[in-house]
Structures are given as structure tokens and as C-alpha cells.
């Protein structure tokens, strides 16, 4: 397969995850496990393929992140709406995502999109995503363990929020310093 065609595969996998997100709330409960598994696998596979074939791009990374967030949000809303757990958990589970979205809005508002673009995927973000997918599987397979899984996922999301927040503040400070030093 030519490299030109290969570059579209990671984005196709991310786009597929967006479709899974749209379908999830309307799917019967007996398919949820398989949809979550497919989404998790495609999340792993799109990044692996992009790195392996050296076809990474900032736009592809953004599409991947949007697909992840949309799928996670759809699953959380679905689980809350059917009573799997209370809605007050959602902000804690999305702490990282809320901070990153706020940072993007702020960066755009001060015309510093470059500062936001420097926020690459980090171990803490991967841990938060793992915690969310782990929670989803616990909800479906081990409902007696939902509360510890909620605490774990919320903790991972909080750690990631702090990590990304620190990184963004550092980038904003560096940008301000560079402006002060330039004539």
C-alpha cells in the first residue's frame, strides 16, 4: 500500500469512532460492551498505525482527540440517563477534558492557538482515557465495583487536568516572556 493512501487509515479509524459515538446512545444495551471494545481498540490502533507508518499529523491528532471525547461523552450521558450512576460524577470524570477545552477556547481568544497546539498527548491523558474506558467496562461487567471504578477514573482525570493545566500555563508564560523580550 502506498504511503499516500496509508495516511488516511488512522483518520478513518478516528472517524469510525465518531460514528460509534453517534450510534452508542441508540444501541441496545447488549451491544454496549462491543461498541466500547471497538472504540477502545480503534483508539489504540489509530495512534499505533500513525506512528508505525509515520503518518502523524496535528490535524489527525485533533481528530483522534475529538473522537475520543465525543465517544466518552456519549457513553457517560447514556449511562447517566439509564441510571448506571449519578450525573454529578460527570464533571469529575471529564476534568481533563473540560480543562483542555477551556484551554483551547482561551488560546483561541488571545490568538495563541500555537500555545494550545503544543499540548501534545501525555501519559496522564492516556491514563485518564484508560480510566474512563475501564469504568465503562466495570459498569457493564462488574456493577458491584462501580463506585471504586468511578473514584479511580475521576482521580486519573484530575491528575491529567493538573498536568495539562500546568503545561498550558507554562506555555502561556513562555509566550508572554517572548513578547516582553522581543523589540
Residue with cell 473514584: 151
Report if pTM > 0.85.
yes
Question: Model confidence over 151-174: pLDDT tens digits?
Answer: 999 999 999 999 998 988 888 788
Average pLDDT over residues 41-49: 91
**What is the distance of C-alpha 164 from the center of its chain?**
12
Cell of 32: 454496549
pLDDT over 90 (residue 139)? yes
> Is the distance from CB of 56 to CB of 107 less than 8 angstroms?
no
pLDDT over 70 (residue 19)? yes
Task: Identify the band that residue 3 occupies on the pLDDT scale cut at 50, 70 and 90.
Answer: low
pLDDT over 90 (residue 25)? yes
Amino acid at each position: 500500500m502506498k504511503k499516500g493512501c496509508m495516511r488516511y487509515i488512522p483518520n478513518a479509524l478516528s472517524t469510525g469512532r465518531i460514528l460509534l459515538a453517534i450510534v452508542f446512545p441508540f444501541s441496545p444495551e447488549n451491544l454496549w460492551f462491543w461498541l466500547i471494545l471497538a472504540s477502545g481498540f480503534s483508539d489504540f490502533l489509530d495512534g499505533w498505525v500513525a506512528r508505525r507508518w509515520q503518518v502523524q499529523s496535528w490535524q489527525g491528532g485533533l481528530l483522534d482527540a475529538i473522537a475520543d471525547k465525543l465517544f466518552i461523552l456519549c457513553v457517560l450521558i447514556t449511562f447517566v440517563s439509564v441510571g448506571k450512576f449519578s450525573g454529578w460524577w460527570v464533571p469529575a470524570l471529564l476534568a481533563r477534558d473540560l480543562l483542555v477545552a477551556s484551554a483551547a477556547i482561551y488560546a483561541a481568544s488571545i490568538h495563541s492557538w500555537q500555545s494550545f497546539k503544543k499540548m501534545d498527548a501525555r501519559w496522564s491523558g492516556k491514563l485518564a482515557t484508560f480510566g474512563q474506558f475501564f469504568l465503562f467496562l466495570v459498569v457493564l461487567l462488574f456493577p458491584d465495583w462501580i463506585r471504586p471504578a468511578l473514584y479511580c477514573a475521576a482521580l486519573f482525570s484530575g491528575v491529567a487536568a493538573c498536568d495539562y493545566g500546568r503545561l498550558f500555563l507554562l506555555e502561556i508564560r513562555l509566550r508572554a516572556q517572548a513578547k516582553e523580550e522581543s523589540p
